[in-house]
Structure 1
Amino acid sequence: MAGLAAARELRREGLDVTVLEQSAGVGGQWLYDAATDGGDPLGMASVHSSIYSSLRLNSPREVGGFSDFPFRPTNGGGGDVRRYPVHGELLRYIREFCDVFGLMDAVRLDTTVVRVAMAPPRRDGSLRWTVRSRHNGDAETEEVFDAVVVATGHYSQPRLPSIDGMDKWRRRQLHSHSYRVPDSFAGEVVVIVGCNLSGKEVALELLRVAKEVHLSSKSTKEAMTPSMSKMLARYDNLHLQPLVEHLRSRSWRRRGRSPSTTTASGRCTSTCSRRRSRRRSRSWASRSR
């Protein structure tokens, strides 16, 4: 959304704008992709979107749109008219924004930026930028621009925690970035590392199919909110646990507790942009009996 908003404002100032988009459509994170990084379940590879199938917005639509282009339900009905709609409704809004303001003619889809560097200065001393990109896997091309706006957004790169034994764990490990649907966790015992919004939402989905779901939090006292208390009272197979400190071949150890057997380990530790980050992450994992 940031790139499209910037493109609109720059065009209003009379500037010539080119938007380079790596995906097959506009929408960024909100362009749902059922594919995941299958060969890299912790999500450090190529898939950009972190959206899972049932995701709904956790902020009301009134604050999700631009001030002069409100995020309203479609006039003709259809779609999701709820105040907290599913992710596809926001994608519809983004596409409508592009259509209304005629932005698509400035967008190059399936185009990945490979390198951005300063170009040799002009004779008058003004600076320019060389942008190298690749379209659909073709040969790289270089172009020179007067200015570059970096609008790559957030939530495309998982933040992974540091857990002893994680690199030797041979059961399933998955970051929520690569989670889409709960079906493959049927009958499993799952521990989810991270107890904020994504951890709770994924846990509620897994509870329908998994044998047990353990939510691991660095502070069980802080995690025991009124909503968490209701979740624990409602589901017998949901358990709140201290922070995971160690992963073994068939078990995991919580802080101050004896080892427990599990079949999957997941990380719901948030995501960031593909810039370098030193902040910690949350995640989850599973293992079938």
Structure 2
Amino acid sequence: MSFSPATAREVDTLVIGAGQAGLATSCWLSRAGVEHQLLEQRPELGGAWQDRWDSFYLNTPNFAFLLPGMTYDGPEPDAFLPRDEVIELFRHYARRIAAPVQLGTEVTRVARADGCAAGGTGRGGATPGGGFAVDTNQASWLARNIVLANGAYQRPRVPASAAKLPEHITQLHSHDYRNPQQLPDGAVLVVGTGQSGGQITEDLLAAGRDVHLSVSACPEAPRRYRGQDTFYWLLQVNLHGPDYGINGLQAEQLPSPAARFTCNPLISGNDGGHSIRLRDLGRRGVRLHGHFEGTDDDVLVFSDDLAARMALVEASFGQRMQVMLDTYIAAAGIEAPLAEPVPAVDWQPSSSGSRLDLGAEGITSVIWSTGYGLDFGFLDIPVLDEWNYPRHLRGVTEVPGLYAVGLPWLTRHASSTVGAVGLDAEYVAGQIAWR
């Protein structure tokens, strides 16, 4: 629906997206007395968790559910919630905070209103900066403020060379994978060893499927470290590290903008939570390959560096993250047991070369666990950098009245997680209330 000033609805603040970032922002805006509306393109609440496969469990423990107005207070703080319970938890949260959500509403364009009245013509007409004109598939809006809360999992990324695979090969991005039964009989190739790739590989193994796995550079990590879930320590460093001069998980310390999109440690919340080790997968029968490079007819080409790649994946935690966590534990004066020894390297992959013949190996399906890209295609405002990331300071963009919440590394490593998104939402809501 194209913008129509005559029929546009007016509101002080529009929040685009009603996942965890949008709901947290709504909670803080309500507390500040700011009139607002959330627009959610999905027909039901539950955010991107609805795009996870059937056997998915939340990767962060229950104690990390720290949304404003509702934190976990149950009997199992160290347990992990299955997908459907996660979805229902967010729906319950929306009801609890009385979030004003309009479902089934896709935002198609956000532009400056150029002086049009916004935020209510009865309260003084045009607002500072002119406000924003918003088109959706349902109605037009005039808003004094816009909060971009549409998430970090917007546009599934698939290599361009995927289009060259034979037509009889079933291809799915992890976004669309639900269970092994949706795949035809035959072996499966999983491309990518982030959390999704590792967990889907385990899901396929449990179903008795033959699996090939293309190894990326995502680090392995212990599920538990020095007496706590590893995410406990990561969250503490995110939230309290600067108090002790430890800033490695703060956004301003990133070596480059590209580092905002590096993958998370290879762990799982399934089966009570566990580490995923590539060598363990290989020992269980998974055929490991190097990084996916492209296609040559029915043959897939991988980097010929599997041994070095696995060594890098295994060493990454100890080289950076472990040092940071140990430094924090010491600086905070926390008594914690010593780290358990690193498992011995007692299994080596057989040489699979750099080429994989799909037909010869009986591979009928490829699952692209290759991550997501940001998608702000509806923004008709020049505020994005070369990485399609809004230029901002603590979620306040360079455009007056335009804000962002819930993006990876918005202010810190955990900005897009349920453990820290509420902090950024609180700051942004405070800026809106002050404005």
1:251 has 2:299 as partner = yes
Q: Contact conserved, 1:131 with 1:143, CA < 8 A, in 2?
A: yes
2:36 is the counterpart of 1:17: yes
Per-residue displacement from partner, 1:233-284 (whole Å, max 9, x unpaired)? 2x23x111112333244332333424433322221011233237869xxxxx
Equivalent-residue separation in structure 2 for 1:70 and 1:125 (angstroms):
36
Taking structure 1 as reference, are residues 9 and 249 closer, same or farther at Cα in structure 2, changes over 3 Å only? same
- 1:220–1:108 Cα change, 3 Å: closer
Partner of 1:43: none
SS at match of 1:148: strand
- 1:163-242 superposed matches below 5 A: 163=161, 166-169=162-165, 170=167, 171-185=169-183, 187-209=185-207, 211-218=209-216, 227-233=277-283, 235-236=284-285, 238-242=286-290
Secondary structure of the 1:146 match is strand
Alignment partners' CA distance in 2, 1:120 and 1:263: 54
Q: 1:269 maps to which residue?
A: 370
Taking only aligned residues, the RMSD between alpha carbons, in angstroms, comes to 3.0
Residue correspondences, number? 245
Residue 81 of structure 1 deviates from its aligned partner by 8.4
Higher helix proportion (structure 1 or 2): 2
Question: Relative to 1, partners in 2 of residues 1:128 and 1:246: Cα closer, same or farther, differing over 3 Å?
Answer: closer
CA distance in 2, matches of 1:19, 1:102: 11
Q: Is the partner of 1:207 in helix, strand or coil?
A: helix
Does the CA-based 8 Å contact 2:127-2:144 persist in structure 1? no
The alpha-carbon distance between structure 1 residues 155 and 244, as it changes in their structure 2 partners (threshold 3 A), is: same
Q: For residue 135 of structure 2, give the secondary structure of its aligned residue in structure 1.
A: strand
Equivalent position to 2:79, from 75, 80, 83: 83
User: Mean alpha-carbon deviation: is it higher for 154-163 or for 119-128?
Assistant: 119-128
> Which position in structure 2 is the counterpart of 1:38?
none
Distance (Å, rounded) in 2 between the aligned partners of 1:208 and 1:186: 16
Q: For 1:213, give the aligned amino acid.
A: V
Higher relative contact order (CA 8 A, sep 6+): 2
Distance 1:64 1:161, change over 3 A: farther
* C-alpha spacing 1:67/1:107, structure 2 compared with 1 (3 Å): closer
How does 1:148-159 map onto structure 2 within 5 Å?
148-159=146-157
Whole-angstrom CA distance in 1 between matches of 2:276 and 2:203 = 19
Moved more, 207-216 or 51-60: 207-216
Once the two structures are TM-superposed, the CA of residue 179 in structure 1 deviates from its matched residue by 0.6
Residue aligning to 1:63: 64
Q: Distance in 2 between matches of 1:98 and 1:183?
A: 33
Residues 51 and 209 of structure 1, relative CA distance in 2, 3 Å threshold: same
How far did residue 116 of structure 1 move?
Answer: 1.1
The Cα shift of 1:125 comes to: 6.4
| 1:119 is aligned to 2:113 | yes
Secondary structure in 2 aligned to 1:147? strand
- Letter in structure 2 aligned against 1:145: A
What stretches of structure 2 of length at least 5 have no aligned partner?
1-19, 118-124, 222-265, 267-274, 305-352, 378-385, 389-435
Asked whether the equivalents of residues 69 and 97 of structure 2 are also in contact (C-alpha less than 8 Å), the reply is no
Q: TM-score, normalised by structure 2?
A: 0.51
**What is the DSSP-based 3-state SS (H/G/I as helix, E as strand, rest coil) of the residue aligned with 2:163?**
helix
- Deviation per CA, 1:203-231: give whole Å up to 9, x if none: 11112446521111146998999722222
| SS of alignment partner, residue 177 of structure 1 | coil
TM-score w.r.t. the length of structure 1 is 0.74
Contact 2:220 2:276 in 1 (8 A): no
The answer for unaligned runs of 5 or more in structure 1 is 33-49, 136-140, 280-289
In structure 2, what is the Cα distance between the partners aligned to 1:7 and 1:69?
13
Residue matched to 2:132: 129
Distance 1:222 1:54 in 2: 21
1:18 alignment partner, SS class: strand
Range 203-212 or range 222-231, more displaced: 222-231
Percent same amino acid at aligned positions? 25
